[in-house]
Amino acid sequence: MSAPWADAAGTPRSRPPVGGRGWLLAAAGIALITATPLAVALMSLLNPDREVWEHLAQHVLPRVLVNTAWLVVAVSVLTGIIGASLAWLTATCEFPGRRFFNWALLLPLAVPGYVLAFALAGLLEYTGTVQTAMRHTFGDAAGLPDIGARAASIATLTLALFPYVYLIARHAFATQGVRALEVARSMGMSPARGFRRVALPMARPWIATGVALVAMETLADFGTVSVFNYDTFTTAIYQAWFALFSLDAALQLASVLLLLVALAVVTERRFRGRARFEAVGSAAAGQRINLARRPALAASAYCSVVFLIAFLLPVLQLLAWAVQTYPAEFDPRYLSFATRSVVLGLSAALLIVTLAVLLAYAVRLRPGASTSVLARAATLGYAIPGAVLAVGFFVAVAGMGDALTVLARWLAGPGAAPVVLTGTVLTLLLAYSARFLAVGHGPVESAMQRIRPSLDDAARGMGVAGFSLLRRVHLPILGAGIATAALLVFVDVMKELPITLMTRPFGWDTLSVRVFQLTSEGHWQRASVPALAIVLAGLIPVLALNRRSG
Amino acid sequence: MLTIEGLVHAYADERVLEGIDFTLEPGRIGCLLGPSGCGKTTVLRCVAGFERPAAGRITAAGRQLSGPGLHLAPEHRHIGMVFQDYALMPHLDVAGNVAFGLGRGSRAGRDRHAPRVAELLALVGLPGLERRFPHELSGGQQQRVALARALAPEPALLLLDEPFSNLDASLRERLAIEVRDILKALGTTALVVTHDHQDAFAVADDVGVLNAGRLLQWDTAYNVYHRPANRFVAGFVGQGVWLPGVVRSPGTVETAIATATGRMTQPLPTGTEVELLLRPDDVIHDDGSALKARVVNRRFRGPQFLYDLVMPNGQRLLSAVPSHHNHAIGEMIGIRIETEHMVVFPRTEAIGGVGPAHAIVIE
């Protein structure tokens, strides 16, 4: 007899759900947060305002589409090449400085694109540090060519985002280990050929995932392209909303951008193909390919150049500016910028971690297709650009306010004051939740996986149940995951720009908003002080990540 | 000590247990044996209280745990359990795990329970490992910690779910004997679940064989092997070959290859057509015997060879022979049939199409 609930050893595998219907409702409620802006965008896509649409189709869409396509394709290809090659070098080869670059190449993760953009521009523009030095040394004719907004945006986003591919591909190369390459060598392939025929194809699903993340981040980017005045969907949404004051146009653009995101997601699925995430053999560490002198020096030089341009030089530039401008620039206002950033980060972290824990328990206590679909839907928001979430939630929250106003007037008569929710932190927190729930859910979910059902049974068998079970078993095991989740969300919110900029309550300037305001007016030196604060916060999770994977 | 009456359990619409009855006397070690999915783990989980039976009564130490309108929560049963995956708390060290069921997990309790923890770790052969964490232990060590943890609150009854299935073969038997010695030294009543009859015989006093949600036999380990209640039990607890034969007199069965004598498992009238079970140890290698069989295959088992034999009439046999008798495949060897316990069933009970030259080999 083979029963569907029994595995080979005869242990019941999926038991009837123990949680009540409330858990299903909780999961549905959390998924509803992400579904709201999607529904708003979809409705606008299905009911286009003809006048608005014609204006956009004539004056905005062609340029924005071309610009966005260039950006996404170029940044994806370049980050794929740079990220995968660096990952392969540090994971499987031995060369001077490898151990340092192994973790140092993750440091650019701490620098948001909009900070890297103005730091690099400050370094390299005509009046910048590098060109001034060149003119000093070689005479007035010396200098760098002007590469234009498109190339500048592509280069900056590539340098800011390649660590995603690097991190994921490095894991792939390290775990597939030298074993796979040894198989190739035993069949008479040279190391280079083995890389092409074995290591690269095996790492392909990971590289594709990394590149897909980069493509989504590129589509979502608002700050970097703003610095270079390169018009993409996100800047067009901002322009339509805050320069033309047309929320309809912003919403139309947002819904088209959402289609592009969907396209990117589907493309990634297709490209990943049927390849599976599996390692061959165990990770045999230490057995690296010893590069000969010349290739080894070339590898060191390559890593150094990327590290210098993507992290060290920009950060040094920020430091230099900060030292110059700090006495004049720093005033009590900065305390309030920083306080708001921290308060927003903490409240978002608290809210999102709570939602993530509820979601993880819903899946645990009511296992089944419905909760797992809801959990996947709820964590879809990481793919939706902040600008889209900002518009979508603004419209939804405005609708909520109108509905409440109608209710209030029905209850208290026509004289009741209108309910206005749009200028509150509600929009902000909802949009943060949608965008960063996946970030918070990941660590909580993987901690939850460690609490096997038999742990609950074992504890109950020893008389430990109910709240005592939660305190003595669940919380200690979940604790580290919850802390990681809170830290990641906190830092992401500190760095976040488009949602904060577009939906913050009046006068609620944060560090990131301050950076945007100063850079859009060309005050790059002055922007260095808040930018450095953001970079410092961003370094915390990167260093923690390194310590764990090191 | 533990009494189970008419236990029925169902998941959704599917019945997993169809009325289980047995009694385990105080101080004895019982074992539920059966193939995957037969329901043996479900019985264990019903006793522990993790599953709610659809019908039936469970009584332990004079206290009713489950019955009509009654289902005591697992945390109130005072029953210890060792889980198949050990279920050690990953965030607690060995001492914390062993003391888990002793107190409320406070720091003061930790010091108070230290002597008891040390005593238990010494008992299971892991003295001094208090500060290790579960992931720093081998599978066998984790198993021992799980046992110490389950024994710590001095449970009235200890349940062990497939306790040896995650261990490699060389460790299984040694640990099974060790666990038996520990339980016997403490006088603990225990119920073990396993799918391996060797584990069952190594650890248990009483063995119950389950199939498809029914308990086919509940008896001493010796009787289950030598006096199986039916053909399924006979097949599940060891190897052998079914031989068609006829009862010639009480204690004598005539078959195509030889006449066997011994004590029959059930009294059957003369002339009854029967199936006789010949286990490998019933077929003795004897060079002086006139009965010859050809070796068609052989497996080296260390102290023994297990020979696959075929008789001139096509009948297959299994024979366990001390391994210094080294015969090549194809060789003819002498055998004699020595059946002290004759496991016989009337031929109407036969499973499958059994003809004279077509016997069923169970391995």
The helices-and-strands tally (H runs, E runs) of chain B is 8, 23
C-alpha span between A247 and A395 (Å, rounded):
8
C-alpha span between A384 and A389 (Å, rounded):
7
DSSP lists the bridge partners of residue B273 as B246
Kindly report the CA angle at A166 between A160 and A170, in degrees rounded to 5?
165
Kindly report the CA angle at B188 between B187 and B191, in degrees rounded to 5?
140
| H or E element at residue A136 | helix A129-138
A459–B83 CB contact, under 8 Å: no
Q: How far is CA A426 from CA A40, A347, A516, B67, in A?
A: 17, 11, 22, 53
* pLDDT higher than 70, residue B360: no
* pLDDT higher than 90, residue B347: no
A455–B89 CB contact, under 8 Å: yes
The alpha-carbon gap from A83 to the nearest alpha carbon of chain B, in Å, equals 34
pLDDT tens digits for range B151-189:
999 998 999 999 988 888 778 888 899 999 999 999 999
C-alpha span between B353 and B362 (Å, rounded):
15
State how beta strands B2-11 and B157-161 pair: unpaired
Sign of CA dihedral A432, A434, A435, A440: positive
Token pair 């198989």 is found at A183
Could you write out the three-class secondary structure of B203-221? HCCEEEEEECCEEEEEEEH
DSSP string, A146-172: P-HHHHHHHHHHHHHHHHHHHHHHHHH
Q: What is the CA radius of gyration of chain A?
A: 26
* pLDDT higher than 80, residue B88: yes
DSSP lists the bridge partners of residue B22 as B4
pLDDT tens digits for range B52-73:
999 999 999 889 999 988 999 8
Residue A414 main-chain phi, psi, to 5 deg: -65, -10
- Nearest Cα neighbor of A254 from A396, A70, A79 is A396
> What's the pTM value of the predicted model, to 2 decimals?
0.81
Query: In terms of CA atoms, which chain A residue is nearest residue B160?
Result: A458
- Nearest Cα neighbor of B44 from B261, B210, B248, B251 is B210
Chain B residues within an 8 Å CB radius of A460: 49-50, 73-75
Q: For residue A264, how many other CB atoms are within 10 A of its CB? A: 21
- Nearest Cα neighbor of A287 from A547, A91, A526, A524 is A91
- Nearest Cα neighbor of A199 from A79, A65, A85 is A85
- Amino acid letter for position B321: V
What pLDDT is attached to residue A64? 94
- The residue count of chain B comes to 363
- Residues 79-118, chain B, touching A (beta carbon < 8 A): 79-81, 83-85, 87, 89-92, 100-101, 104-105
Q: For residue A165, how many other CB atoms are within 10 A of its CB? A: 29
Q: What share of chain B is helix, strand, coil (3-state, %, to 5)?
A: 25, 35, 35
Terminal-residue alpha carbon distance, chain A: 48
Query: In terms of CA atoms, which chain A residue is nearest residue B47?
Result: A461
Ranges A138-152, B229-243, B308-322: which has the least confidence: A138-152
Taking phi over 0 as left and psi of -120 to 50 as alpha, with beta for the rest, B271 belongs to left
DSSP lists the bridge partners of residue B210 as B215
**Count of CA atoms in the C-beta half-sphere (13 A) of B320:** 15
| H or E element at residue A316 | helix A313-329
Q: What share of chain A is helix, strand, coil (3-state, %, to 5)?
A: 80, 0, 20
C-alpha span between A460 and A473 (Å, rounded):
11
At a CB cut-off of 8 Å and minimum separation 6, what does A44 contact? A248, A251, A252, A254, A255
**For residues B11 and B46, is the Cβ–Cβ distance under 8 A?**
no
B101–A457 CB contact, under 8 Å: no
Taking phi over 0 as left and psi of -120 to 50 as alpha, with beta for the rest, A87 belongs to alpha
Q: At what angle do helices A61-92 and A247-272 cross, to 10 degrees?
A: 40
Nearest CB partner across the interface for A3, out of B14, B73, B74? B14
Establish, for the pair of chains A and B, how many residue pairs have beta carbons separated by less than 8 Å: 111
Ranges A136-140, B5-9, B34-38: which has the least confidence: A136-140
The pLDDT tens digits along chain A (550 residues) read: 333 333 333 344 445 456 778 899 999 999 999 999 999 988 888 888 888 888 888 888 999 999 999 999 999 999 999 999 999 999 888 899 999 999 899 999 999 999 999 999 988 887 788 888 888 888 887 777 778 899 999 999 999 999 999 988 888 888 776 667 777 777 777 777 777 777 788 888 888 888 988 999 999 999 999 999 999 999 999 999 998 888 889 999 999 999 999 888 888 777 665 555 554 444 445 567 788 889 999 999 999 999 999 999 999 999 999 998 888 777 788 888 999 999 999 999 999 999 999 999 999 988 888 888 999 889 888 889 999 999 999 999 998 888 998 898 888 888 888 888 887 888 999 999 999 999 999 899 989 988 888 899 999 888 888 888 999 999 999 998 899 899 989 999 999 999 999 999 988 899 999 999 999 988 889 999 999 999 999 898 888 877 665 4
A275 reaches B (C-beta below 8 A):
no
DSSP string, B164-232: TTTS-HHHHHHHHHHHHHHHHHHT-EEEEEES-HHHHHHH-SEEEEEETTEEEEEEEHHHHHHS-SSHH
Token pair 């015989």 is found at B201
A461–B104 CB contact, under 8 Å: no
- Nearest Cα neighbor of A499 from A393, A428, A421, A425 is A428
Which tokens belong to B41?
């783990």
C-alpha span between A57 and A243 (Å, rounded):
18
Query: In terms of CA atoms, which chain B residue is nearest residue A479?
Result: B91
A464 reaches B (C-beta below 8 A):
yes
Nearest CB partner across the interface for A9, out of B79, B92, B162? B162
State how beta strands B189-194 and B157-161 pair: parallel
- Nearest Cα neighbor of A518 from A328, A384, A306 is A328
Q: Which of A446, A460, A468, A477 to mutate to test the interface with B (most CBs of B within 10 A)?
A: A460
